[in-house]
Chains A and B, each alone.
Chain A
């Protein structure tokens, strides 16, 4: 029996507020841990910045400049205070602040990741639907084996192959370079075709496999038989009754996939020389631009935590049972 004092909407609101409140300690712990990790590791950033010919005096001065002689907790509080004011420090190698660098690079990576997921969904969902309507048919077996194979294919192998096929051999799309979204939308999308396909293919395999087995399981459930017994069409049943519970699986899965998507995006940015966060990370590491690396770790981690939280909330919105179970 339903709980009489609260409506569904109120319960959902309460759930979201609880989760948001829990976010603050999580972010504090994670940011402190990041700080600790990067500061307590035996590899000293000063060593990393200092070249081989660094004198002891220069070493000490750099340590003072970076504030590394203060106790760790003080440094963390200071860093956090500055971070909350939007100040993540300055890059050693460029005249940009870390905040500026991130603001410039982040949209490119996000656009790449977003478009790749759209592409993956457009391909994977119909494949999964057709597979699940006739499990074990020739189409199903072929597409399932294909997905299984794709799972074993690293992003950079796919990317290299696509560059060779479409950029080197037939000059259809540019191999490298990026045109800004605001400068020219058409050219922007054209410059992203190969990167988006490269990054999306890995997700297609994951989504197809999981959605397929999820749909097959759902289609065997009693409530689908009942929907059939109402005389509803296969199309309606698929869209309204079978796919909807699977969106829960999908949201959970997509959130889990973000980790490997970030890895993939970094690799894709290097292959196609897209000036996103990934390329920034690699160049910053190569140039020992320590504060930039720290800023990237902090921002991507916070973003990652937020995406997982968003996925949880979205799941609660779609699945009415969860609100009750978790609150």
Chain B
């Protein structure tokens, strides 16, 4: 395929994924659109059950055919892969799109040696011989900072720690030099101490290789300084999308506000209770009319409960939000985030007034 194209690396247009179950239609991904350029990262943030993992699978077209309704378009390098046959899809999976999944303890086959799990992808897509594939795999293991890559090449997954295993899954995802990397909660299952290492590694590799990266997480703190843009998902929909700095300094959607308030603050005095969001995400079968966050929102009024807010443009560029009663002022993000992002903090009492 020639790389002469206009437009972004990935252009997702009104993507819908519904599952038909015995209880009714589950609207797991409902009219989601976003674009991603080569060399940039978009963070997709939401609680569990908000549809972020289904979104990542829908973007890859890696969902079962039976009982699933697909709609919308996914333009990857200008081609709509929703029209691809299985054979064509297998040609880009692993080769052009790499996936790093959530739990490195389960995402590696326990009875296949690590080397083989890397080389099988290389040999499948690049048709090179065994020795060359091994050489390539070892150099990839080196690039993910795997200690003793030659020895690890012939080890089994159970011989490695969680952090090292996640390096292996990253190596697998990168093996064929993909253009797009989808990292689905890559650090959720890891120790806190290892999380930052893995995220830094992903960011470094993404920059070095000029890949587009979709970083999916439930933790807004994780994506704060590692993404160019952040999309907040709630109940299958994107409810706010903005460049990272804009989102933290000028969020509009009440759900985003609640998410930011629930980030633990190291700077806060001890014994200050963490703010959590009351209630649970809605059932995706027969979602209520109106804003889907309304039942849990302190600011919801009659309109919120009856009329669904569309994605509206905020004053700054590339900032979309869906809220009838948007945040007027600013909620102060945690000091750690402020210092990492270099946002000018404002005084807290201004928010109290705005509410």
Contacts and interface: CB of A to CB of B under 8 A. Distances in A.
Given A222-B106, A230-B124, A231-B125, A1 B160 contact: yes
Contacts of A8: 156
B91 A231 contact: yes
A187 interface: no
Contacts of A228: 62, 93
A245 interface: yes
Given A1-B160, A2-B159, A230 B120 contact: yes
A233 B97 CA distance: 16
Contact of B107 (A222, A318, A320): A222
Contacts of B60: 229
A229 B109 contact: no
B101 A230 contact: no
Nearest to A248: B111
A170 B102 CA distance: 61
Interface string A224-239: 0111111111001000
B42 interface: no
A226 B108 contact: yes
Contacts of B121: 230-232
B107 A231 contact: no
A223 interface: yes
Contacts of A244: 109, 111-112
A179 B112 CA distance: 45
Contact of B172 (A225, A226, A233): A226
Given A225-B101, A225-B107, A232 B124 contact: yes
A47 interface: no
Nearest to B156: A320
Contacts of A230: 93-94, 120-121, 124, 172, 175
Interface string A313-327: 000001111001000
B111 A225 contact: no
Interface in B98-156: 98-99, 101-103, 106-112, 120-121, 124-125, 155-156
A2 B108 CA distance: 16
Given A2-B160, A222-B102, A226-B169, A232 B107 contact: no
Contacts, number: 90
B158 interface: yes
B300 interface: no
A223 B109 contact: yes
A230 B112 CA distance: 15
Contacts of B90: 231-233
Contact of A318 (B62, B111, B125, B164): B111
* B interface bracket (residues with beta carbon within 8 Å of A): 35 or more
A241 interface: yes
B106 A229 contact: no
B95 interface: yes
A319 B108 CA distance: 14
Nearest to A245: B111
Given A1-B161, A226-B101, A231-B121, A241 B93 contact: no
Nearest to A321: B158
Contacts of A319: 110-111
B341 interface: no
Nearest to B155: A2
B92 interface: yes
A221 B109 CA distance: 9
Contacts of B98: 229
A240 interface: yes
Interface string A3-26: 100001000000000000000000
Contact of A227 (B109, B159, B173): B109
Contact of B94 (A1, A3, A231, A321): A231
A1 B112 CA distance: 17
Contacts of B156: 8, 320-321
A233 B93 CA distance: 11
A76 B62 CA distance: 66
B106 A223 contact: yes
Interface string B185-229: 000000000000000000000000000000000000000000000
A321 B108 CA distance: 13
Given A223-B108, A240-B112, A229 B93 contact: yes
B161 A231 contact: no
Contacts of A231: 89-95, 121, 124-125
A236 B92 CA distance: 17
Contact of A245 (B110, B159, B160, B173): B110
Contacts of B89: 231
A160 B291 CA distance: 70
Contact of A229 (B94, B111, B161, B164): B94
B285 to A, nearest CB: 21
Interface in B259-305: none
Contacts of B108: 223, 226
A222 B98 CA distance: 15
B103 A222 contact: yes
A224 to B, nearest CB: 8
20 contacts: A1-B161, A1-B164, A221-B106, A222-B101, A223-B107, A223-B108, A229-B93, A229-B97, A229-B99, A229-B173, A230-B93, A230-B124, A231-B93, A232-B90, A233-B90, A240-B112, A248-B111, A320-B111, A320-B158, A321-B156
Given A231-B94, A321-B158, 9 more contacts: A2-B155, A2-B160, A3-B159, A223-B110, A229-B99, A229-B101, A231-B93, A236-B120, A236-B124
Interface of A: 1-3, 8, 221-223, 225-233, 236, 240-241, 244-245, 248, 318-321, 324
Interface of B: 60, 62, 89-95, 97-99, 101-103, 106-112, 120-121, 124-125, 155-156, 158-161, 164, 169, 172-173, 175
Question: What 4 pairs between A and B have smallest CB-CB spacing?
Answer: A2-B159, A230-B94, A231-B94, A231-B93
